[in-house]
Amino acid sequence: MSKKLGILLVAYSILLAGLSGLAYWLAPAIAMSITGTGIAGGVLCFIWGLRAIWGNRSKAWAILTLVPINFMVGSHAILFWAGGGEAVSGRQAMAIVATALFLLSIATLATIAYAGVLFDRDQGTPAMQPARR
């Protein structure tokens, strides 16, 4: 990963932990698992982001952290929008926060996964480049 992606991952981790804390503040009865996921994922993404800023080029650990975060947050967004059987105050606000977290997480995952594939592609070694005439 590049330093730019490391900074993106650090910013994402702060937003993830902050929005997870907001979710717990809105509805503590139904937000325990999303809060735990957000804080644990935020800490791990913060570590991977700092490693990228310090020069580590591997993005495997960041992707392996972001995939379960996406599954957990996406499933909670669906459950909060579906409503469930019990009436809990703050469910609609939780649905909005969970959806925002899911969109943010999926965008971060896509950005990191496709970094270097679409736009930063190397031109290859001189032996691989076509001959000039």
**Residue 123 pLDDT class (50, 70, 90 cuts):** very low
pLDDT at residue 92, rounded to an integer: 82
Highest mean pLDDT among 57-66, 85-94, 99-108: 99-108
- The mean pLDDT of 7-30, rounded to a whole number, is 89
pLDDT in tens, 35-74: 888 999 999 999 999 999 998 888 888 999 999 999 999 9
Q: For residue 94, give its domain range.
A: 3-113
pLDDT at residue 33, rounded to an integer: 85
121 occurs within a structural domain: no
With 0.85 as the threshold, say if the pTM is over it.
Answer: no
**Residue 119 pLDDT class (50, 70, 90 cuts):** low
106, HSE (Cβ side, Cα atoms, 13 Å): 12
For the domain that residue 22 is a member of, what is the CATH number?
Answer: 1.20.120
123 occurs within a structural domain: no
Residue 6: partners with Cβ closer than 8 Å, 6 or more residues away: 48, 49, 50, 51, 52, 53, 54
- Better pLDDT: 2 or 71: 71
Q: Which two tokens stand for residue 105?
A: 């997480």
Number of domains forming the structure of the chain = 1
89 occurs within a structural domain: yes
119 occurs within a structural domain: no
130 occurs within a structural domain: no
- The mean pLDDT of 5-34, rounded to a whole number, is 88
103 occurs within a structural domain: yes
